[in-house]
Amino acid sequence: MNWFDFWKRFATHFKRSKCHRMNVIIQTTHVPGSVALIHVTEAGSGRMFIVASLSGRADPTRVALEVYARIAGAVRDAGMEIVHERIFGSLGVELAVRAARAAALGASGSAADGPITYIEGCPPWGEGLAGVIVQVVSCTGADDKVWTIMDGRVPCGRGWRRNDATYLVLQNIQGLEDGPRCADTPPLQARRMIERAERILREQGATYHDVVRTWFYLADIVEWYDSFNLTRNTLYGEFGLMPASDNGHLLLPASTGIGGISSQDAAGVLDLFAVTGPKKSRPLIKRLCNKGQKDAFRYGSAFSRGTLICDSDVSLIELSGTAAIDETGKSLYPGDIHAQVECTLDKIETLLDKEGATLKDICAATVFVKHPNYANVFRKIAAARGLEHFPGVCVVADICRDELLFEMDAEVVFGHGDDS
């Protein structure tokens, strides 16, 4: 399928469908059986999520060129700009993927120098590119705009303004510091990482109180996750975010904390999403609890189970990384991948149902499995639940507890005329 035919089908689909969603299967020509599935979801007026999930081994340069040609075409033809971009793949192919990305975006006339987060989320088949998750926006109002956020000379995020509200995404924030390696411990890096994010937010007229979502990708997560939580809890306490014992007013952002390595050799990197602006102009924001799981801060992890963001034309849930954990904070079904996947999807379904959404409203997800062969277990269970073409990138990663084998996070678009 050429790009013109793809976008014509996509635009026609949007006009006649309430769900504003289209899946296009792209068969790579150089490796039989290798498939890239492109998922495009409209999230209200002037916003889209694009997910490229790969299945099967393929040359990283050629498949990245193919995927990014279609992403670039969508961005160009819709008159939009990329505001958040995450790439998951093995570090051994990072340079090739980055070069292919730059070539594809450049060929379409799109800027290729924006910030990206590249995380070693190895595909289940080993080396290669696992997938890409991109959020794009357009600004149509007279005062609307998109800009690149800089930390010194380094692009570290994107901001955009629509309807007098300001949205900020920071990317690839790390806490490395020049000096003796022994003084650059993971907990110290975590503190600097979060403090750096807070400083950049303040330079943009926001604070950590405006953060609705974080993604922490931590090297050797099992080894120091308790120390990470202690550092995060301490800083969030200093920021005034930690809830009182009665959980009266939850301010904690949704979050993912997962194993992930970056080529910077940092102990961790952080992406975050914040919403600010005059109170009357901001969308309604609600931090979510899940009756099927204990609030994470009660057992030492400072995040909410999700954040609901209600705009005038669409609702979005930023769903935290979710695993098979019960109402007391205990891990369930150790060693049983089938039960853990089913349990996790049940927990997610419980949270979404309370807000009027379903699993089929998920528009972008990252699926983390501890062992490569668990990816097919997830796919079979998802298909049995009617999620055959699931818009998620599946990667092999360490979960925060040894006994946990599966975790998933997501962004969920629903409401305001959706089929759901």
pLDDT in tens, 358-376: 999 999 999 999 999 999 9
Q: Is the pLDDT of residue 28 over 60?
A: no
Q: What is residue 74's predicted lDDT score, i.e. its pLDDT?
A: 82
Q: What is residue 418's predicted lDDT score, i.e. its pLDDT?
A: 47
Q: Is the pLDDT of residue 301 over 70?
A: yes
Q: Is the pLDDT of residue 335 over 90?
A: yes
The sign of the dihedral angle between the CA atoms of 26, 363, 21, 420 is positive
Q: Is the pLDDT of residue 4 over 80?
A: no
Q: What is residue 280's predicted lDDT score, i.e. its pLDDT?
A: 84
Q: Is the pLDDT of residue 23 over 70?
A: no
Confidence label for 298 from pLDDT (cuts 50, 70 and 90): confident
Q: What is residue 20's predicted lDDT score, i.e. its pLDDT?
A: 54
Q: Is the pLDDT of residue 291 over 90?
A: no
Confidence label for 2 from pLDDT (cuts 50, 70 and 90): very low
Q: What is the 3-state secondary structure (H, E, C) of the chain?
A: CCHHHHHHHHHHHHHHCCCCEEEEEEECCCCCCCEEEEEEEECCCCEEEEEEEEECCCCHHHHHHHHHHHHHHHHHHCCCEEEEEEEEECHHHHHHHHHHHHHHHHHHCCCCCCCCEEEECECCCCCCEEEEEEEEECCCCCCCEEEEEEECCEEEEEEEEECCEEEEEEEEEECCCCCCHHHCCHHHHHHHHHHHHHHHHHHCCCCHHHEEEEEEEECCHHHHHHHHHHHHHHHHHHHCCCCCCCCCCCCCCEEEEEECCCCCCCCEEEEEEEEECCCCCCCEEEEECCCCCCCHHHHCCCCECEEEEECCCCEEEEEEEECCECCCCCECCCCCHHHHHHHHHHHHHHHHHHHCCCHHHEEEEEEEECCCCHHHHHHHHHHHCCCCCCCEEEEECCCCCCCCCEEEEEEEEECCCCCC
Q: Is the pLDDT of residue 24 over 70?
A: no
The pair of structure tokens assigned to 376 is 């097919």
